[in-house]
Amino acid sequence: KQEVTQIPAALSVPEGENLVLNCSFTDSAIYNLQWFRQDPGKGLTSLLLIQSSQREQTSGRLNASLDKSSGRSTLYIAASQPGDSATYLCAVLGSARQLTFGSGTQLTVLP
Amino acid sequence: NAGVTQTPKFRVLKTGQSMTLLCAQDMNHEYMYWYRQDPGMGLRLIHYSVGEGTTAKGEVPDGYNVSRLKKQNFLLGLESAAPSQTSVYFCASSPGTEAFFGQGTRLTVV
């Protein structure tokens, strides 16, 4: 059974800091890993998708890396802004086509 | 292009009542998923489907049934609602790569 863990559960940083969110998974037989953002009371917004054959993906101030063999992914956010405050979720698509989520990291960027 | 649409958006049920949540996608995706999200927790998979006519159990399937009679629709049923099923339900579809989510259904069972 695939298990996905996100550390830390919550993070508070001052505006302008660079930060890293972590995601680990127990079964390395995955098709891809996806990072999402969720604002309070809202749905999920896809941020980045990394295929199993890729090492990283970038979109604007966001960079996601994947080390499939060690079962780890990181989401790097550069020059954080108060508008980045949200919960960030990672999800892995496993061999049975199950999409398994971590419990998320709640990020607060202080002005 | 509507993407993934969930119906209804809000619902209050009495214990023991039944209801069906509808997830519709217009992207011709093979894979569809139903999740529940409880406060402070991530999304937990209830059931999923890898194609029309197929369904499979996820992490928390008890108390729920699903059907995928048409490729574009994935229905989640609660036969006898319980207060423990109070949650926000999310549906997703995927072509096998990126997953796309609906806006959620907030269900309260009293």
Amino acid identity for residue A38 in this structure: Q
Q: How many CB atoms within 10 Å of residue B71? A: 16
Residue B93 φ/ψ, nearest 5 degrees: -135, 155
**A43 contacts in B (CB within 8 Å)?**
90, 101-104
Q: Kindly indicate the confidence band of residue B2, based on its pLDDT and cuts at 50, 70 and 90.
A: low
Which residue of A lies nearest to B38 if distances are taken between CA atoms? A103
Res B1: pLDDT: 54
pLDDT at B41 over 80: no
Instruction: Please answer yes or no on whether B96 and A31 come within 8 Å at the CB atom.
Output: yes
Chain-wide mean pLDDT for chain B? 95
Q: How far is A23 from chain B (nearest CA, A)?
A: 13
Give the whole-angstrom CA distance, residue A34 versus residue B4: 18
CB B56 within 8 A of CB B64: no
Report how far residue A86's alpha carbon sits from residue B92's, in angstroms, rounded to the nearest whole number. 20
- Does A91 sit within 8 Å of B98, measured CB to CB? no
Length of chain B: 110
| CB spacing of A43 vs B92 below 8 angstroms | no
Q: Closest CB to B101: pick one of A43, A96, A103.
A: A43
Mean pLDDT of A91-110: 94
User: Coil, helix or strand for B7?
Assistant: strand
Region A15-43 average pLDDT: 95
